[in-house]
Amino acid sequence: MTRVLILGANGQLARHTTTFFLERTDAHLTLFLRRASRLNNPDPARTSIVEGDATDREALIAAMNGQDVVYANLAGDMAKQARTIVAAMHAAGLKRLIFISSMGIYGEVPGEKYRSLLDPYRDSATVIETSSLDYTVLRPGWFTQDSKVDYRITQKGEPFQGHDVSLNSLSDLIVKLALSPTLHVRCSLGVST
């Protein structure tokens, strides 16, 4: 059984992916968020909720104890959070990280200029990519509610294809990455339809 720590567990994508994990796998989940009272436990037999901040190294180390995978879906001071996550994972002896960023951080979306809006995503991706972790950075397009699982992947350095991606598609990919420890390791993937 895979044990997954979900950082930023109350975010839209994280909540959607939690449902995917519970419906499609036997994974045990630890949901980590700043205010635990904002989230109901969807399956107490397989899910625990931990209150904490992703910039608190000691809280992260404690939450990482016994985990196999860290899936980070964060906002705010993302570079500081990324540095803390990397340090905590090293201290906890964890290697596998799935980190959500944004399309456009490398200027890879044809015809789009996002400038400073993407600085937090770009800066945090740089922290992750220069670490020694077995990371996968995901750079999704805008989220849609389309029920189909249908997506394409582009590698860092390739032009981004499409523009949007369904929550179902992203959750499907995140679950695959969490259950396959060598899939797309040390890659930054654009994800769209």
Question: DSSP string of 127-166?
Answer: HHHTSSSEEEEEEE-EEE-------EEEETTSPPP-SEEE
pTM over 0.75: yes
Residues 6+ apart with CB under 8 A from 134: 95, 96, 97, 181, 182, 185, 186
pLDDT at 162: 84
Per-residue pLDDT tens over the stretch 106-117: 989 888 776 678
Give the percent of the chain with pLDDT over 90: 92
Domain containing 153 equals 3-192
User: Would you state the structure tokens that stand for residue 171, as one six-digit string?
Assistant: 């959750």
How does DSSP classify residue 112?
Answer: -
The total number of structural domains that make up the chain: 1
Reported as a pLDDT band with limits 50, 70 and 90, residue 30 is very high
The CATH number that applies at residue 70 is 3.40.50.720
